[in-house]
Structure 1
Amino acid sequence: MGKTRKFKPKSSKDNPVGIPSLKELERLEDSAFSELTTTPIEAIQEQLESGILEEKINGFQSLAVLSEDRNKVDQICGTEIIRIAAPFLVDRNDSLRNSACGALRNISVCGVDVCEILVDKDVLTPLLTLMNEYALDLNWVPVFDASMNNQLDQKSDTFLQAVNLLWNLCESSSTAVDLFNHTQILQSFIRCLDYKVFGVDISISVAQCLLIISDNNTSSWNVLTNFVPQFVCLLGLQADGFSEVFLKTLAAGIISNVPALSAAHLGQIFQVVSGTLDFDHKSILNELTSRLPLLKEQEGNGVIEIEDSINDVSMDEDIEEANQRRRRQDLPSALQLELQNVEYLLDAQKLAAEILSNLCSSDESEWLDENGEDNDMSDEEEIIDENGEVDNEKINVEIVEAVRSYSIVQKLYSKGQRLPENVQGIIKESSVRLFRKVKQHRISIITALESFCLQLDPEDLGGPQAIYSVWYELGLEVFQTDNNDDLMVAATGLMRAAIMHLKTNKDLFAQMSDGDVQMILEGIESCENASANANWMRMLGILGCLLPEPLVKKIIEFLVTSCQGDLDMWTMSEGLDSLMDMFKDNDWLQISKDMNLPLQCKKIDKIFKNRIREQKTQFPDRYPACIAVKTNFIRFVKYLENEQYKFTH
């Protein structure tokens, strides 16, 4: 998403305009003896509706600051402020345009639901009008102010904020993409990819917007195929820094989104993503954390305070002087520049992993043969699908060869390792934003590994022992560290894909003890994420085919008890599927008799039917699979009854 613009503190002074500051308003609002009933949001709305230019600009500055509090953003979206603010995107006054654009961009960073509200409140109409003005002005190029570290001029900064706003809206709303498709703005974006003319900030933001626009959007493909030389030029960019690395990776991502271009330039795409993954992000982060204390000290303990009082325009200065002062306040510090540089690398490697995941997925691996006809795979070419079953679409041979040639799996694995605790702690303390990017980076890497694990042969993954090591190490981390939900889902997804390759390698699990199994079962019980639990339930079924009878009984008892509990429909179906899998190659007659399994399963069958009836709208994508499990489970119960009768008579 777009970068939030920060505002530096300034020394306190009298309020010459007579408008209560944001801090004062909030303090008075909380006071029982307050004589002022206007809330900060109401005060901002009054400023935006004022006939005085200075007050409007102050209102937008306050709105930009307030948007850093998500609770305040929800309140803002419940008022008419968005509808009032949107038309200022095309106001005649450049300063007002810039302020409006920055504030709305900050709000759009707050998530999909907020972006949908912005679209519903018709921010797109003035935004696309503004973007079209830049598209029609072929003479416009940015001006960089050498006296301010080459900061963009105001008109160019407005374009940058507008692109980021558009990118956020299109990423969250198909309506925004549809409206964008009806403009001619896309063609004009291409010239902005020349970072030597437009600057790296604008080129990267435009490329990020194009990446979102080109995702499953055939209308954009028809346009982008007319600009192949420009994208190929970026693929060959000799990067001097991580910003250029990110830019060329973005170009690879855009090309990979367009099927015709992806097929024609597959080798160059792999060359770029492989080169991006060659950078050792762990060493770079380690080196950064060693210098962060000094950088923080230089900046004043590294804390960028946000001054709630943004009444920037005094009686002694005009609008232009105030704008210059705000621009100076917005200049990035040495710490911010260091963090931004590393963020570019993390973003580039995250994108490289996502590109690889997309290329590896079956939907994206439909290729045309030389005659332009579908190159269907034979029934014998089978792989494991994302549900742990067999899929008849095989990864393209060209991709497999590229993966081998560039050692992609090995590079991804090295990037997927957990950072040392001390490094993570320093990063988290110094920059919440960088810490979040580190997490997102690792999740994308692990997800890419899962994609390859689902589609490649064990030999291409390093062999059974290497696959087992990944499964075991991730398992220890999952149960011994405090992971967020997204990382838990990614890790268990990779573990599930990995263990599917080990069904015939019982020897690797020979050392698993009762304590190991107990740790897994207790970990599942304490996990509250449905996706992670579904992955674990599937893994239990495979473990039950690899372990000795005492441990198998422990797993069966756990599955039976869990499925009689309050599991959701999806997780329960995975558990029942695993239970049935465990009886495919072994009847486990003694276990069935000891547990009176047929009776237990009849109880579960009733619960499962009720769960499907209650939750079919909650898991619409999973409903067909759950119905298939229900049908198979009915047959399974009858099978258990027959086998137990034979065993006991």
Structure 2
Amino acid sequence: MQDAPHSGAGEVVSHHKSSRGRVKLLSLYSWCDVFCVFVSIQLQSPSADVREFACASISRVVQQSQTIPGFLQRDAVRRLGPMLLDKSLNVRETATGALRNLSACGGQEVCEDMVKHDVMTPLTALLREVRLRCIVSFPCTSVTRVLSLFLMSRCVSSESSSQALSLFNKVGLLDVVIQCLERHPQNVELAISAAHCLHTVTEDNPELLCSLNTAVLGVLENVLLSSQPAMAHTLLRTLAAGTLWNMKGSLPAARQAQTLNAVVASLSKCLDLDTGTLIPELRQAEEVRHRNAPAAPDVEEQAVEEMGQVEEEEEAPKHKRNGKSAKVDNDFSDLLPRGKEELREATALLTAQQTSLEIIVNMCCSDDPSDDEWEEESSSDESDMGPDGLCDGVSNLMSPLCLSAEVHGALISYSIPEKVLKKTEFPRKEAMDVCHQNPSWRSLIKKSRYLLHIPKDEEFLEAVISAMRSLLQMIASKNISQCMTPQQLMSLSEAATRCEVVSVRVNAVAILGITGSTLAKEKGTAETLQMIGNALLQVATRDADLVVNGEALDALFDVFADGDEAETAAKNIQLLPALKALQPVFKAKIRKEGRGKYSPQQLCVLDNIKVNLRRFIGYLEKVVKK
């Protein structure tokens, strides 16, 4: 394969005498062009071995993400699609693997291309056919199922998901996926692929949800209640939990409370696992196994290292569906050669915890329009105002939680808020050292990033911070002491206020307000309140967006509305003169920028905050005169 491109290029330029002409033609016929021509010819070969070799070649080359645009331009998907139904089972399997790698390494653009070139038709036919074949007679079909189900998940989660979902529903693939999921005691990898697929297809798919029955629910509950300790089974249970949450509207009324409790319990157990301890332990187990067995071939180690490098380069595409967090699966664990069981376990652990956090985000998000858009209007009735009334009026601007009592109770019962916040801590040095010191484990570093608030990961930061706001507001509503340290709080605020997404900055400011208003009721908190107050004043003064300015002022009203600690902190940070200086600036900004840039509802809220600012300044003046 290595010599073919050079040979082809040589033939093209052999008719030209000047070296300049050769260079020019070589630039036109890049190695990617020649390789695509080469494999295209091989895919048409009458020999099954040659077709299989061509698919395997594509599968390996596309793991280098920089090659993928060239493959898309040369109709790689259109050429590979028919291979899914090749008369040779080995060709089918290898072609499915090539498309799987292409989608995993290429991201959303490739998935769009797949749906556009109708890869769903041969893919659905393949899935239905392998369901009918005996795994004993055709051992490759189990692998084909794993690859096919992954590929199905990628297509369904693409921007063209409506088209892919429609075909999934039409041809009745649910029974195929459930059949694969049922095999979880014997083949956990197959079950995980099926669970990924089911988790994807049940999201925002009312047509499919209407067809779900008690048999499907029973299979999912059996998975959820399984007790195998391996991390792969933890991931499987997490995906089952997410699917059951997607199905919540279709559950029998008599089983809803029980199922919800089992879902949250499973997520809680997953988050309880300490990655900082488990990852070093898994790496140590791998070293012990290597000492007691022959070393893996160098070529295998090289392949693992290359795949780890690919993962570090790739950004996992993330999407928002109805305000919810929907993360496209970018898990490379099933590409790892055999003999890497511990690395598979570590990858499954991180994927399970990341998925758990995303499910919790979705549980805390309403299907109604986002409250970050300031669609709640505050009352403009001035008769309710005054020091106490002002606090009540301002709190109305804090959007209410859209959670049922059952969900609210389950999240609190299993201490989900504390466990989510625990994941914001920086990973232990021992775990990070393991990842940095071993090339094949380096891919875990990127998977660990969900533990941190990194401003560049804007969409995931948006989802996480939205969930944290809801959870902290839950804690405050129950008068439970805040579990976020001042260091965590200020680190979150600093990261979020640098983010370009307005809703992230709004939620960060709201979190400061929620936390501060709770701390103001406790003794010895003046110093922390001062930090919060200074941070909010900075945002109210310097942020370029009026909505964020208003949210920061709103949070200040909440934090410093009442209490001895709040009064002390307000005096120490000179809150009154700072707000007096800010008042005319804020009014002028609304007058100059508001009408053309913000919606009538946003302007209504901003006008109310302007009124509340005047009254709050009056309240602080009375406090000073005491």
Q: When the two structures are superposed, what TM-score results if normalisation uses the length of structure 1?
A: 0.66
C-alpha distance in structure 1 between counterparts of 2:525 and 2:227, whole Å: 48
Q: Offset of 1:428 from its aligned partner?
A: 4.0
1:184 is matched with which residue? 172
2:32 is matched with which residue? 41
C-alpha distance in structure 2 between counterparts of 1:596 and 1:488, whole Å: 21
Are 1:426 and 2:438 counterparts? no
- What is the SS of the residue equivalent to 2:213? helix
Are 1:598 and 2:588 counterparts? no
Q: 1:438 aligns with which of 439, 442, 448?
A: 448
Q: Offset of 1:333 from its aligned partner?
A: 4.6
Q: When the two structures are superposed, what TM-score results if normalisation uses the length of structure 2?
A: 0.68
C-alpha distance in structure 2 between counterparts of 1:605 and 1:574, whole Å: 16
Give the residue type in structure 2 aligned to 1:254: T
Q: Offset of 1:165 from its aligned partner?
A: 0.7
2:519 is matched with which residue? 505
Q: Is the 8 A contact 1:47 1:58 kept in 2?
A: no
Mapping 1:606-621, distance limit 5 Å: 606-609=592-595, 611-612=597-598
Q: 1:171 aligns with which of 140, 146, 157?
A: 157
C-alpha distance in structure 2 between counterparts of 1:187 and 1:40, whole Å: 44
Change (3 A) 1:279 1:24: farther
C-alpha distance in structure 2 between counterparts of 1:640 and 1:404, whole Å: 34
Are 1:157 and 2:165 counterparts? no
Q: Offset of 1:578 from its aligned partner?
A: 2.7
Deviations 1:490-546 (A, max 9, x none): 899577436414325336652259xx85xxxxxxxxxxxxxxxxxxxxxxxxx44xx
Deviations 1:350-377 (A, max 9, x none): 333333333344449xxxxxxxxxxxxx
C-alpha distance in structure 2 between counterparts of 1:23 and 1:240, whole Å: 54
Q: Offset of 1:71 from its aligned partner?
A: 3.0
C-alpha distance in structure 1 between counterparts of 2:397 and 2:89, whole Å: 58
Change (3 A) 1:483 1:282: farther
2:260 is matched with which residue? 266
Give the residue type in structure 2 aligned to 1:267: N
Change (3 A) 1:414 1:212: same
1:85 is matched with which residue? 80
Q: Is the 8 A contact 1:409 1:449 kept in 2?
A: no
Are 1:458 and 2:476 counterparts? yes
Q: Offset of 1:463 from its aligned partner?
A: 0.6
Q: Offset of 1:446 from its aligned partner?
A: 5.4
Q: 1:254 aligns with which of 243, 247, 251?
A: 243
Q: Offset of 1:288 from its aligned partner?
A: 3.5
C-alpha distance in structure 2 between counterparts of 1:353 and 1:573, whole Å: 28
2:410 is matched with which residue? 402
Is there any run of 5+ residues in structure 1 with no aligned partner, and where? 1-14, 144-151, 308-329, 365-383, 518-542, 545-550, 613-622, 644-649
Q: Offset of 1:124 from its aligned partner?
A: 1.6
1:201 is matched with which residue? 189
C-alpha distance in structure 2 between counterparts of 1:342 and 1:358, whole Å: 25
Q: Percent identity?
A: 21
Q: Offset of 1:483 from its aligned partner?
A: 13
Are 1:285 and 2:271 counterparts? no
Deviations 1:314-372 (A, max 9, x none): xxxxxxxxxxxxxxxx87253x32111122222223333333333344449xxxxxxxx
C-alpha distance in structure 2 between counterparts of 1:429 and 1:279, whole Å: 23
2:358 is matched with which residue? 354
Are 1:222 and 2:227 counterparts? no
Q: Offset of 1:162 from its aligned partner?
A: 1.2
Give the residue type in structure 1 aligned to 2:263: I
1:20 is matched with which residue? 5
Give the residue type in structure 1 aligned to 2:474: L
- What is the SS of the residue equivalent to 1:131? helix
Q: Offset of 1:599 from its aligned partner?
A: 5.8
2:270 is matched with which residue? 276
Q: Is the 8 A contact 1:249 1:273 kept in 2?
A: yes
Are 1:66 and 2:61 counterparts? yes
Change (3 A) 1:427 1:295: farther
Deviations 1:582-625 (A, max 9, x none): 579699775566x485267425642455555xxxxxxxxxx565
Mapping 1:375-414, distance limit 5 Å: 389-392=397-400, 395-414=403-422
1:472 is matched with which residue? 487
Q: 1:235 aligns with which of 208, 219, 224?
A: 224
C-alpha distance in structure 2 between counterparts of 1:343 and 1:488, whole Å: 33
Change (3 A) 1:238 1:509: closer
Q: Offset of 1:166 from its aligned partner?
A: 0.7
- What is the SS of the residue equivalent to 2:163? helix
Give the residue type in structure 2 aligned to 1:473: Q
Q: Is the 8 A contact 1:67 1:73 kept in 2?
A: yes
- What is the SS of the residue equivalent to 2:527? coil
Give the residue type in structure 1 aligned to 2:355: L
Q: Is the 8 A contact 2:191 2:236 kept in 1?
A: yes
Give the residue type in structure 1 aligned to 2:363: L
C-alpha distance in structure 1 between counterparts of 2:584 and 2:499, whole Å: 35
Q: Offset of 1:293 from its aligned partner?
A: 7.0
Q: 1:75 aligns with which of 46, 70, 77?
A: 70
Change (3 A) 1:628 1:477: closer
2:375 is matched with which residue? none
Q: Is the 8 A contact 1:446 1:494 kept in 2?
A: no
Q: Offset of 1:242 from its aligned partner?
A: 1.6
1:343 is matched with which residue? 347
Q: Offset of 1:231 from its aligned partner?
A: 1.9
Q: Offset of 1:450 from its aligned partner?
A: 1.0
Are 1:578 and 2:536 counterparts? no
Q: Offset of 1:452 from its aligned partner?
A: 4.8
Give the residue type in structure 1 aligned to 2:5: P
Higher helix share: 2
- What is the SS of the residue equivalent to 1:456? helix
Change (3 A) 1:251 1:423: closer
Q: Offset of 1:213 from its aligned partner?
A: 0.5
C-alpha distance in structure 2 between counterparts of 1:641 and 1:191, whole Å: 66
Q: Offset of 1:63 from its aligned partner?
A: 2.1
Change (3 A) 1:87 1:237: same
Q: 1:119 aligns with which of 97, 102, 115?
A: 115
Q: Offset of 1:164 from its aligned partner?
A: 0.6
Query: How many residues align structurally?
Result: 514
Deviations 1:173-205 (A, max 9, x none): 332122212111112221111235761111110
